[in-house]
Chain A
Amino acid sequence: QITLKESGPTLVKPTQTLTLTCTFSGFSLSTSGVGVGWIRQPPGKALEWLALIYWNDDKRYSPSLKSRLTITKDTSKNQVVLTMTNMDPVDTATYYCAHLYSSSWYYWGQGTLVTVSS
C-alpha cells in the first residue's frame, strides 16, 4: 500500500523560506521509473505542478518558479524535501506531494495548507 504524507509549517512569514517534507511508504525511490513531486493548490484555484525528482536524482522544476525551488531526496529515509524561498502571500496554498509512475500522479498525500502572512 502506497502512502505519502506532507509535513512542515502551517504558517510562514513573507520573505521566509518554506521547507516541506514528504514521507512515503510502500515504494522505493530507487526503483527505476519512479518519481515524487510537489503540486500546490491555492484556495479555490487549480492545481499547479512545482517540482519533481526521479529515482536517478534527475530533477525538474516549474519554469515560473524554478529560481525559488529546490527538491532533494533521502532514499534511506523515504523522504523528499522541497524548499521554496522568498515566500509571498500569493504562495498560500495546499501543498501536495505525489507519486509519479510512468505518466500518472497516481498516489497523492493528504496535502498540507501553508499560509503566508505576517
Chain B
Amino acid sequence: NFMLTQPHSVSESPGKTVTISCTRSSGSIASNYVQWYQQRPGSSPTTVIYEDNQRPSGVPDRFSGSIDSSSNSASLTISGLKTEDEADYYCQSYDSSNQVFGGGTKLTVL
C-alpha cells in the first residue's frame, strides 16, 4: 500500500497563486492518474482535476494539475485566487487493488 501526503494547510491572498503538493510514498506517481477534489464545509467533494491535469467542464482554468516524477508528487495550482476557493482539497490515486486519498489541505484565502 502507498500513502499520499499533503500539507495540512496553506494560505494566500486573493489574486495570488497557490500550489498544493501531494507526494506518493511508494510506487511511481506517474503509474496511476491523480485526481483532485474540492470540499467546501458541509458539502460533498467535487472533482476539480482528473487524470493528472484534466479539468471537468465548469471548473475554471485557474485550476491546473501536474505531476513531477523527480519528486514523485502531484500538484494542484490555483491562480487568481478568489475567496470562493477557500476549501479543503484532497488528492487521490490508486493502484491495482486500492484507492487512496491524501490527508487533505485546508486552503485559506485571506
Contact = CB atoms under 8 A, between A and B. Distances in A.
Q: Looking at chain A, what size class is its interface with the partner chain?
A: 20 to 34
A104 B47 contact: yes
B27 interface: no
Contacts of B104: 46-47
Contacts of B46: 108
B101 A60 contact: no
B51 interface: yes
A103 B101 contact: no
Nearest to A39: B101
Contacts, number: 59
Contacts of B56: 106
A60 B47 CA distance: 22
Given A46-B90, A108-B45, A103 B51 contact: yes
Contact of A60 (B45, B92, B98): B98
B32 to A, nearest CB: 7
Given A47-B39, A111-B44, 10 more contacts: A37-B99, A47-B92, A47-B104, A48-B101, A49-B98, A63-B98, A103-B50, A103-B94, A106-B47, A108-B44
Interface of B: 1, 32-33, 35, 37, 39, 44-47, 50-51, 56, 90, 92-94, 97-104
